[in-house]
Amino acid sequence: MQRRKFLKNSTTAAAAVISVPFINSCQEEVTIPKKLAKTIRPIAICTWNFENATAKAWQVLKEGGSSLDAVQQGAMIEEADVNNQTVGVGGRPDRDGNVTLDACIMDKDGNCGAVLAMQNIASPVSVARKVMEETPHVMLAGKGAEKFAYEQGFEKTNLLTEQSKKEWLEWKKTSQYKPIINIENHDTIGILAIDKKGDISGACTTSGMGYKYAGRVGDSPIIGAGLFVDNEIGAATATGVGEEVVRTVGSFLIVELMRQGKSPQEACEEGVKRIMAKNKDRTDFQIGFIAINKNGETGGYCIQPGFTYRTYSEEGHIDNSSMSFLKG
C-alpha cells in the first residue's frame, strides 16, 4: 500500500519536470516548476521516520495554521522525546558529557534564526524562532544563546538522561570517535511545510554528532547548509555528517538546483553526488537530503540505505522508505 502511494507520488513528480522560465522581482531569470493541475497543499515533510512530528505539523496545517507554526511544533515533538537520542532532551552529549543543541528556523520571507551549541534548554527550535522574531540577529551561540533563552522565559532543563549518560560513560572507556552510519551520528530532524496559503517554512534541530568535540557545530543550525527556504521555489533540509553538508552549502544548493528547473528528487540526487565527488575514497558516512517545491512535490536521496523521510498531505501519511540511495 505504502509502496503504491510512493510510486504514485513519483509519477506526479515526473509529470512536473516541465518548467517555465520567468524574470523575478530581482530581475533574475528563474525557472519554477509549471503549476500542476493539482497542487499538493498543505503538506509537511520531515527527515527520517519521525511520524509524530509530521502528524503534529499536519494537524497545524489542516486547521489553517501557518507553515512556520507547523514546522516549529513538529520539531518540538522530537525535541521533547527523551527516547530520541539525537534531538533535544535525551540527546547524546559531547565527549565531555555536555548535551549541546543546534537548531534553526526559516520563514517564507527569508527571515531566519538559529542557536548553536546551546545547553540546558529543551526546545532549541523555539529559541531559534525567538532569535528570528525578537532580535536583529540570525545566530546566537553557546552561553549567549542560553542567556537569551532565559530572558525569553525558557526554563533551565537537564538534557542528559540516564540512558545517554550511561552510554557516554561506556564510550569513555575507549573514547574512540567513530560515528556509526545511521546510528550514532544521525536522526537530526529537518522539517519542511507548505500551508494552505502556499507559503513555505522549514526548521532543523539536532544534538549533533554523538561524542563530538566540545563546541563542535555541524550543518543543522547553519542557514543554507542544514536548511534553506525560498518561498518562490521550495525548500530543502539535510541530515548526516554535517561537515560535508557545510562544504557544499547543501540545502541552498538543492533549492538553487530546483530554481534551475530540477525536480526535488533530481535536486537531492545532484546534491548527494556533489558531496560524493569531493569524497571519492570515502564510503563510511551518511548524508540525506529532502526537498519540496512550490507545487508540493517532494524528493529525498541519501548515500547509504537506511534513511527515509515522511510526508503528510491529503494523500495520507507516507513513509518513503522505499526511496533510492546512491550506494545501491
| Residue positions annotated with a catalytic role | 188
Counting contacts by CB under 6 A, is residue 164 touching ligand ASP? no
Contacts (CB under 6 A) with ligand ASP, residues 20-59: none
For 169, 179, 184, 230, the CA distances from 175, given in Å and listed in that order, are 9, 11, 14, 41
Among 84, 182, 188, 263, binds ligand ASP (CB under 6 A): 188
Q: Which residue number, 186 or 294, has a Cβ lying nearer to ligand ASP?
A: 186
The helix (H) or strand (E) run that includes residue 131 is: helix 124-134
**Does 218 interact with ligand ASP (rule: CB under 6 A)?**
yes
Q: Does 206 bind ligand ASP (CB under 6 A)?
A: yes
The smaller minimum CB distance to ligand ASP, of residues 181 and 241, is found at: 241
**Segment contacting ligand ASP (CB under 6 A): 235-243, 265-273, 297-305, 310-318?**
235-243
Number of residues that bind ligand ASP (CB under 6 A): 15
User: Should residue 239 be labelled a site residue for ligand ASP when binding is judged by CB under 6 A?
Assistant: yes
Q: Stretches 36-44, 57-65, 140-148, 202-210: which one binds ligand ASP (CB under 6 A)?
A: 202-210
SS3 112: strand
**x-marked contacts with ligand ASP along 115-144 as a string, rule CB under 6 A:** ------------------------------
Strand, coil or helix: 13: helix
Within 67-86, the residues that bind ligand ASP by CB under 6 A are 86
Cα–Cα distance, 73 to 62 (Å, whole number): 13
In this structure, are residues 177 and 169 in contact, taking their beta carbons and an 8 Å threshold? no
Smallest separation, CB 218 to ligand ASP (Å): 3
237 binds ligand ASP (CB under 6 A): no
- Measured CA to CA, the distance from residue 261 to residue 296 in angstroms comes to 15
Q: Shortest gap between Cβ of 199 and ligand ASP (angstroms)?
A: 26
Minimum distance of ligand ASP from residue 300's CB (angstroms): 14
Backbone angle region of 117, left / alpha / beta, with phi > 0 → left and psi within -120 to 50 → alpha: left
Please give the DSSP secondary-structure letter assigned to residue 146: H
Determine the residue with CB nearest ligand ASP: 242
Instruction: DSSP for 261-323, please give it.
Output: T--HHHHHHHHHHHHHHT-TT--S--EEEEEEETTS-EEEEESSTT--EEEEETTEEEE-TT-
Write the CB contacts of 27 (distance below 8 Å, at least 6 apart in sequence).
none
Cα distances (angstroms) measured from residue 4 to each of 17, 38, 154, 251, 327: 21, 19, 44, 28, 23
Contact call for residue 187 and ligand ASP (CB under 6 A): yes
CB of 93 to ligand ASP, least distance (A): 13
Residue 169's Cβ-count burial label (10 Å; 0-12, 13-18, 19+) is exposed
Binding of ligand ASP by 240 (CB under 6 A):
yes
Q: Which residues bind ligand ASP (CB under 6 A)?
A: 86, 185-188, 206, 208-209, 218-220, 239-242
